[in-house]
Chains A and B, each alone.
Chain A
């Protein structure tokens, strides 16, 4: 059977749609390569935009801290640089006199004061219940504070030389860290809600084996021995092969009527006309 069927399909060459070649030509066209300089330019633009945003945030937090320190401190010793003024002002308000503050011009101490100023800014923002101009900086500081609070709870041992916040601030930090999730620091990016998740575009459906459904028999058909539905199923199958206008002829052997010839003509989708011719000889 193998060879017979293979030979049968050797010269089987039906004609597909005419517009197929256009789709193939499109798929075969080589993709236009983007010049390298365009890629680098795009990367540079993205980096610049990000850098500008970061700088703006840092500047905003610094202006906030400077405004807070100016308002809180009544007397502040003038110093050459504004950062030193900030440091001393904060120290005079927050630190207890016994806590030594060995401030140096090193970066670490200035960083700590900046961070402290940020935390102060966030606390004030909470108290006032009004949104500050730099919401993002405030939110970041809150997240930093909560992280630091966690670490402080675990491993922190206060050092005499450490210029970490005083006990009152420590209590505030601990309070912040035990805040309820609703009041917890907001992430910089929101997790998508479950309702926003889109349903998949395609649904997998199990394929059922296809069956050929027979056509309904017309009311006028009267074939006593044959099952009308089976006749029409076969007839429709043959008509599809031969063409819609071709008639189909049956030789039918009937016990009562003898041999007869049936001709089936398709008039429409479910309309047939059937003629009978009885043969003279019986089976």
Chain B
């Protein structure tokens, strides 16, 4: 049976600052699955998500000295993953974000989504266009305000709101088509 050595957050950070390979791998093993979940929400394919995860962890390990200890390490790593995912799509797509007119508010109830499993939710989010998906993730899941999202993505606040409205309307139509047949799933 293999021995597993669990490091504390402090030990991991100190070890990674000294570029200790064991601590670096330990950090990866502690957070890679959760961060992969984050990357899956921001990409539309598992391969892209793995690319983002790899680039993100390289950035984390290279810039570990930038972690000052304020807040949790997981939150810091998560922010790096989100920025890496956004950068990943910016490089690939010229039409990642386009300023569009305000599309109005769309209501999407929490209970409509809560009935779905996590995998179903992720599949639905992955089916959204990249711009809508990113804003939806940043606003609804990560909890950033529109002003901050606009700054991160280089768009206006109005565009951020419109992207979110359109994402919600797309998700709503997806839900309705599923619900129409889901009369009763045994």
Binding site for B on A (CB under 8 A): 1-2, 4-6, 8-9, 12-17, 20-21, 23-25, 27-28, 30, 204, 206-207, 209-210, 212, 230-231, 233-234, 237-238, 240-241, 248-252
B122 within 8 Å of A (CB atoms): yes
Q: What 5 A-B pairs come out closest when comparing CB atoms?
A: A13-B33, A27-B58, A4-B110, A12-B37, A249-B186
Q: How far is the CA of A231 from the CA of B85 in the complex (A)?
A: 35
Assess whether B185 is in contact with A248, with CB atoms less than 8 Å apart: yes
Assess whether A206 is in contact with B94, with CB atoms less than 8 Å apart: yes
CB neighbours (8 Å) of A212 from chain B are 127
CB neighbours (8 Å) of A238 from chain B are 185
Tell me how far the C-beta of A146 lies from the nearest C-beta in chain B, rounded to whole angstroms: 46
Tell me how far the C-beta of A207 lies from the nearest C-beta in chain B, rounded to whole angstroms: 6
If A6-B141, A209-B129 touch, does A241 touch B119 (CB 8 Å cutoff)? yes
If A13-B37, A16-B36, A241-B119 touch, does A210 touch B140 (CB 8 Å cutoff)? no
Assess whether B37 is in contact with A9, with CB atoms less than 8 Å apart: yes
Assess whether A2 is in contact with B140, with CB atoms less than 8 Å apart: yes
Can you list 24 residue pairs at the A/B interface with Cβ under 8 Å?
A2-B141, A6-B141, A6-B143, A12-B122, A13-B36, A16-B33, A16-B50, A17-B50, A20-B50, A23-B54, A25-B24, A25-B25, A30-B19, A207-B129, A209-B128, A210-B129, A234-B178, A237-B123, A238-B185, A240-B123, A241-B117, A241-B123, A250-B185, A252-B183
Partner of B143, one of A2, A23, A204, A237: A2
CB neighbours (8 Å) of A1 from chain B are 108-110, 113, 140
CB neighbours (8 Å) of A30 from chain B are 19
If A1-B109, A5-B141 touch, does A20 touch B54 (CB 8 Å cutoff)? yes
Q: How far is the CA of A14 from the CA of B40 in the complex (A)?
A: 9
> What residue of chain A has the Cβ atom nearest to residue B21's Cβ?
A25
If A2-B140, A251-B184 touch, does A24 touch B54 (CB 8 Å cutoff)? yes
CB neighbours (8 Å) of A13 from chain B are 33-34, 36-37
Assess whether B181 is in contact with A20, with CB atoms less than 8 Å apart: no
Tell me how far the C-beta of A279 lies from the nearest C-beta in chain B, rounded to whole angstroms: 12
Q: How far is the CA of A276 from the CA of B54 in the complex (A)?
A: 49
Assess whether A231 is in contact with B113, with CB atoms less than 8 Å apart: no
Tell me how far the C-beta of A22 lies from the nearest C-beta in chain B, rounded to whole angstroms: 10
Assess whether A251 is in contact with B183, with CB atoms less than 8 Å apart: yes
Q: Give the most central of A9, A13, A230: most B CB within 10 Å.
A: A9
CB neighbours (8 Å) of B178 from chain A are 234, 237
Q: How far is the CA of A230 from the CA of B184 in the complex (A)?
A: 16
Assess whether A20 is in contact with B40, with CB atoms less than 8 Å apart: no
Tell me how far the C-beta of B73 lies from the nearest C-beta in chain A, rounded to whole angstroms: 16
> What residue of chain B has the Cβ atom nearest to residue A231's Cβ?
B181
